[in-house]
Structure 1
């Protein structure tokens, strides 16, 4: 195979081979060394052979071979460790082999820390056996430039080979992220959870969060080769999760929360306190307004006022949003993504610690708004522990509400053509089968006038709530700000402002209302229909 084709193929397999090595070893440092051996063995084989029946299978046969050899060496080394030092040192040949092995490993490591161009030249010259003229032609450089890079690379390698590289904390104790989410519209490739799905991307993002770092600095912090960092950092930068700063440094462009037991307990007490205020000075009034709400003409499943409140209270809680001055706008923190998404990204470090409360009771995913030109349809939904839905925004497409409205209007025949649509509505519990026929299991307004009457009946917040909201924002901001880098302060402000109207506050309010007996937990067959509202805005 010619060298250009081999170079192209090996580049495609660098990351898959690293993934294979990481899966086998489970350790970043060992995976980097093993992947380096695999890559070199595959590359040398590509240069020797001309045809492959199944290239992918052949590459991973080599990977398995190198892995087996690696395991054998480790087992042998483990046995040798039982021999005393004098016996080990007495065998010159064995000692020389260890020196050659260590030198080769160190050399491969330092080659990885060269600039991309110098690394490519060194690999082509020393490992690929290419002549300077061939390298120059393949890279579009002059022969003199290639010679200069080789000279500089050798000088750099000679200097660095005598240095000891330190592995950063993330190489020894990598982090894991949880609660990866967004505020805004995800693109065709998904959101934060999709782009930061792997441990290596999560650790790259975290490493450059508090302090801008170069690719080499990120690699040292993670204890891996820069080869595996370059492409990942470039992808994260292309999709707006990292910014590239002057000097080749990267800085993470999102909000990463680092929770602790003390912070979690303090926030829990704070939200409990302000949930009581929200109930007493706002939501309490809803319970005496059954007649006004019902007169709007809103459809309530089973005519059960309790079910209306399970949807109307979290829906109306959105408007507890005040103090527009000094707030961070969505545009200040959101990014227009390459795949069409436009959102602010969020994640939290997965820290293991116990708390005095059940976190599951305060699970929330919302607000999820869905729009469709058909019927001028609008829908709103918020997932909580009480509704039992766990799919989040991915399991909440507009098509469900369009199908439901067609079913309500009687223009979705129950036939083979529409079987999937009905199956979906039954699985989601938006429709129920009853003895008298099909029953809609969510709150909805059949036309524009009904929606307007319902909105007009919702109480307006009092000045007491507005004052409490301002104090809550400041308290949450102070707690979340601890340990955050300066450039991230605007993200902290954005994600902590409007806390009184936040999804988490509404879950605390619902929990308080259940605890004091004002709200009754929905029956199992009603659960998945709550905290959902649909509006047909046609006249």
Structure 2
């Protein structure tokens, strides 16, 4: 007999039963050895395929009954001598029975809590309908209905299970716009692959616990716990007995229409804005703020995005979107969550119009910060800065303002202030030469800031430059509104669109660098790139 012809099928059987390659190899080897040693008697069997299958079942049955990690394989000669065919049939029936029990247990795990508990009490704990009614505070008639429905669902689900496609889990990055919850929600939930996939499955339409559980092949108890947490933080909404995700999730190619629009708009407006600003750069530098003497290109890297932001704030549809706000959540946060399905760039941008440009639009954040001392900052963590999230918060503003006073008034720093200076030199915000401290970014007093902004406003108002950006906010809103589930409020759609309008800032920077108007920053210049601080 040619054993090689049967080896693949034997291994497939073993792998199906063990779900483990190493164990499957061991089991396959035992079966093949036994077949080889008894080849003379096996040649007398009429249906080789059927008999090998029975041997496989017999071996597996021994393992299952004894619950051991090794295979107790009977001598194949003894098996051939069995005169009672009912014993072979018993093995097949045992295999089918064990398979059915495994299916029932699996389906029971997928059921929601109330079905699961009633079935366990009735069938496993052998409790009467009256006892279940009393323990669960449910009328006996309702218990009977649940039992009937549960059995009906089990029958249907077991029939369906073989026809269902296997689900391939996704990986999703989840961030937020606004202030996180007290336990860093929503980000803290979505380090879990289970939470990521629950949110993804429930995004486009409402689904039940059972539907999620079965699709993920995860026990309903785990799904219920996750949904309870997500519902508490208002990241999913319950609709009857179903759940639907209540935050934005981007598929790999969802960002392409927005990016295409921004690329084309940036190429239209970037140069006129840049040339207008560059034309008044000397006038701005003459205001005399700290950092006015840095390299001209690096100063433009800071003032240019700030200038576009000022223009946006004068456009009517942008001002209308600005009425949207980050909603409060029960977890203590004020935020809008955003999920993005992870995919490599070749998949995400495959066949797209501007695929070679998209990665240059990557941005960790356009950040505004303020301190109680009326200090404010604006900073962009973009592709050109190296896509590093720079921690730059209220304490940094206060420390840097103190250093600015030391520089302005030629004060000798104390030991603690020297440590602060050294810290910000290392981060790239300050430089020290001949014991003189200088700033690598603009930092302005209230008067200096007002004077600089007045120069910018006057020049751009004269050119009516805000019309360059008119209608952009409306287009961003319509892009999102047309593909957002009804569980996401219109305010959230507007807030999301408001955030996306800011891509025009990154887009204009990208285009100016691409055509050589903005010099590519050196590594040592990236620490303070696009940073500006002022006092109100």
TM bin, normalised by shorter chain, reads: 0.7 to 0.9
Structure 1 stretches lacking a partner, 5+ long: 1-32, 35-67
Is it true that 1:400 corresponds to 2:421 in the alignment?
Answer: no
Pick which of 72-81 and 351-360 moved more. Answer: 72-81
CA–CA distance in 2 between the matches of 1:271 and 1:221? Answer: 38
CA–CA distance in 2 between the matches of 1:130 and 1:418? Answer: 74
CA–CA distance in 1 between the matches of 2:130 and 2:304? Answer: 74
The answer to whether the 8 Å contact 1:281/1:462 transfers is no
Is it true that 1:162 corresponds to 2:150 in the alignment?
Answer: no
Superposition map of 1:180-199 within 5 A? 180-199=174-193
Quick one: structure 1 residues 235 and 210, their matched pair in 2 at CA, closer, same or farther if it must change by over 3 Å?
same
TM-score computed with the length of structure 1 as normaliser: 0.72
Quick one: structure 1 residues 194 and 167, their matched pair in 2 at CA, closer, same or farther if it must change by over 3 Å?
farther
Match 2:52 to one of 67, 78, 87: 87
Quick one: structure 1 residues 220 and 483, their matched pair in 2 at CA, closer, same or farther if it must change by over 3 Å?
farther
CA–CA distance in 2 between the matches of 1:461 and 1:93? Answer: 91
Quick one: structure 1 residues 70 and 276, their matched pair in 2 at CA, closer, same or farther if it must change by over 3 Å?
closer
| Alignment correspondent of 2:449 | 451
The answer to whether the 8 Å contact 1:240/1:336 transfers is no
CA–CA distance in 2 between the matches of 1:234 and 1:463? Answer: 55
Query: What CA deviation, in whole Å up to 9, does each residue of 1:45-73 have, x standing for no partner?
Result: xxxxxxxxxxxxxxxxxxxxxxx997776
Match 2:333 to one of 334, 341, 347: 341
Superposition map of 1:70-149 within 5 A? 84-89=49-54, 91-123=88-120, 141=136, 145=138
CA–CA distance in 2 between the matches of 1:172 and 1:274? Answer: 40
CA–CA distance in 1 between the matches of 2:437 and 2:164? Answer: 59
Question: How much has 1:229 moved relative to structure 2?
Answer: 1.0
Quick one: structure 1 residues 391 and 85, their matched pair in 2 at CA, closer, same or farther if it must change by over 3 Å?
farther
| Alignment correspondent of 1:257 | 250
Question: How much has 1:399 moved relative to structure 2?
Answer: 1.9
The answer to whether the 8 Å contact 2:132/2:143 transfers is no
Question: How much has 1:286 moved relative to structure 2?
Answer: 0.8
Is it true that 1:409 corresponds to 2:400 in the alignment?
Answer: no
Larger radius of gyration: 2
Query: What CA deviation, in whole Å up to 9, does each residue of 1:223-243 have, x standing for no partner?
Result: 433222111111111112111
| Alignment correspondent of 1:239 | 233
CA–CA distance in 2 between the matches of 1:508 and 1:380? Answer: 17
Query: What CA deviation, in whole Å up to 9, does each residue of 1:64-108 have, x standing for no partner?
Result: xxxx99777655676699883443247345434422332222222
| Alignment correspondent of 2:281 | 290
Match 2:224 to one of 223, 226, 230: 230
Is it true that 1:350 corresponds to 2:342 in the alignment?
Answer: yes
The answer to whether the 8 Å contact 2:287/2:448 transfers is yes
The answer to whether the 8 Å contact 1:381/1:533 transfers is yes
CA–CA distance in 2 between the matches of 1:519 and 1:204? Answer: 44
- Secondary structure in structure 2 of the residue aligned to 1:282: helix
The answer to whether the 8 Å contact 2:248/2:338 transfers is yes
Is it true that 1:177 corresponds to 2:172 in the alignment?
Answer: yes
